[in-house]
Amino acid sequence: MKKILLTFTLILGYVYSYSQCTPDPIYQDSTYNIWPDTIINLPVVSQGVSYQSILNIKTPTTLIEAAGGDSSFTQLDTTIFGTSYSFQLADWPVDSMSLVSIDGLPNGLTLSCAYSNCVLPGSVLTCASVDGVTTDPEGVYPVTIWVDVYTHGTLDLGLIQYPLSTSLYEATGSYESVNGYKIVINSANSLEIINSNELALLQNIPNPTNGITTIKFNNPISDEITLLITDMFGKVVFSEDISSVVGMNELNLNLNLSSGVYNYSIQNDEEILSKRMIISE
């Protein structure tokens, strides 16, 4: 059986406990997905500070939905009673999806699911909660998740109807790996900036970045701010004028820049603040 492509995953941690979360009903009529997605990613973790992030999850109903509409990923080629068969399992239901293991979650953070053992039924709106306190070093922690999907149906062999219950692992010998989520840990000192009475610029997250990044700055007043990004030769490669608000301002950027080291700065009529950003492949 060809590997069923799970373009969506459910879980960012692995604990045998129940979550106290309540899913947001706004996603009830959505197709399978998880919010926030891997582009928006999870909120930043501050060292030594209690953390919680709620994940809204809509699980897929059928294998073709789990495969993102690509029927080539739901094809089963097998041999039964010495005869080779090819079956299309697109309409088979997703009975459940379960977490097998997780790599990269910072120490002290765990995930609780609304279902026992993080085994989530198909075609449900549910949620999970990432909680805890970590003192791991600042940085970006990529998370790799391994999941299995369970399904059942009947194979039509002509004179014989052959019922089958199987999972991704049983059919292919491997689990599905899901990449793209990251846990970003910052120093708790950044929280002090939010309440400061000075213009302050935070390090972009993540850094290094592939171009999709977030820049935050604190401004004690409403002010016109200019964001500039320059290469190492001082050439301006990106600029934007911003009407900032009092307090923390957040800029979500999708930069189409070549790999390298850049400086980004914010400036008003009185001062300029700069930090360094790395763009990687």
pLDDT digits (tens, 9 = 90+) for 163-200: 989 888 887 777 878 788 888 787 655 555 555 567 88
Mapped onto helix, strand or coil, the DSSP state of residue 99 is: strand
Instruction: Tell whether 141 and 152 lie within a shared domain.
Output: yes
* 158 within some domain: yes
Tell me, what's the pLDDT at 55? 86
Instruction: Tell whether 176 and 259 lie within a shared domain.
Output: no
Domain span at 264:
189-279
Contact 13, 147 (CB under 8 A): no
Provide the token pair at 32: 């399978």
Residue of 135, 140, 131, 141 whose CA lies nearest to 51: 131
Identify the domain boundary among 133, 152, 186: 186
Instruction: Tell whether 113 and 230 lie within a shared domain.
Output: no
The CA–CA distances, whole Å, from 147 to 5, 54, 123, 161, 264 equal: 11, 20, 17, 29, 39
**pTM for this prediction:** 0.61
Instruction: Tell whether 38 and 164 lie within a shared domain.
Output: yes
Tell me, what's the pLDDT at 121? 95
Instruction: Tell whether 70 and 170 lie within a shared domain.
Output: yes
Instruction: Tell whether 83 and 171 lie within a shared domain.
Output: yes
State pLDDT tens for residues 94-138: 999 887 777 888 999 988 888 888 899 999 999 988 899 999 887
State pLDDT tens for residues 17-72: 566 788 999 999 999 888 888 877 888 888 888 899 888 989 889 988 887 788 88
State pLDDT tens for residues 72-94: 878 888 887 788 888 888 899 99
Instruction: Tell whether 170 and 48 lie within a shared domain.
Output: yes
Contact 63, 94 (CB under 8 A): yes
